[in-house]
Amino acid sequence: GAVVSQHPSWVICKSGTSVKIECRSLDFQATTMFWYRQFPKQSLMLMATSNEGSKATYEQGVEKDKFLINHASLTLSTLTVTSAHPEDSSFYICSACGLWSYNEQFFGPGTRLTVL
């Protein structure tokens, strides 16, 4: 099946620093990638949708200047949390889908971000 990886799997950083999370589709070309955030015991909240070569579409309430998304190729999207603060601590998950199906998204393993 389609495999999506994320790197790093966990990261601890100081407040004010920026953190970059990578999402890669390993065995297929992902025309669209999604970034989600999950708080403890809560659902997955979609942050943004990115299509290769174009600007990401952010969900209402998500600061695009804080969460920078780049989808430079059909196999790689990055999420950069700029000037991270403790309230940004969360579990970030990406997903990807290919040309054959938009409905079935394949999820990465997630990245646990802790901001001290």
Partner 1 sequence: DQQVKQNSPSLSVQEGRISILNCDYTNSMFDYFLWYKKYPAEGPTFLISISSIKDKNEDGRFTVFLNKSAKHLSLHIVPSQPGDSAVYFCAANFGNEKLTFGTGTRLTIIP
The least CB distance from residue 115 to partner 1, in Å, is 17
The residue type of 27 is D
- The distance of closest approach from Cβ of residue 16 to partner 1 in the complex, given in angstroms and rounded to an integer, is 26
107 binds partner 1 (CB under 8 A): yes
> 24-83: which residues touch partner 1 (CB under 8 A)?
34, 41-44, 46, 49
**Local structure of residue 16 (DSSP, 8 states):** T
Phi, psi of 70 (to 5 degrees): -130, 130
Which C-beta is closer to partner 1: that of 27 or that of 83?
A: 27
Contacts with partner 1, residue ranges (CB under 8 A): 4, 6, 34, 41-44, 46, 49, 91, 93-95, 102-110, 112
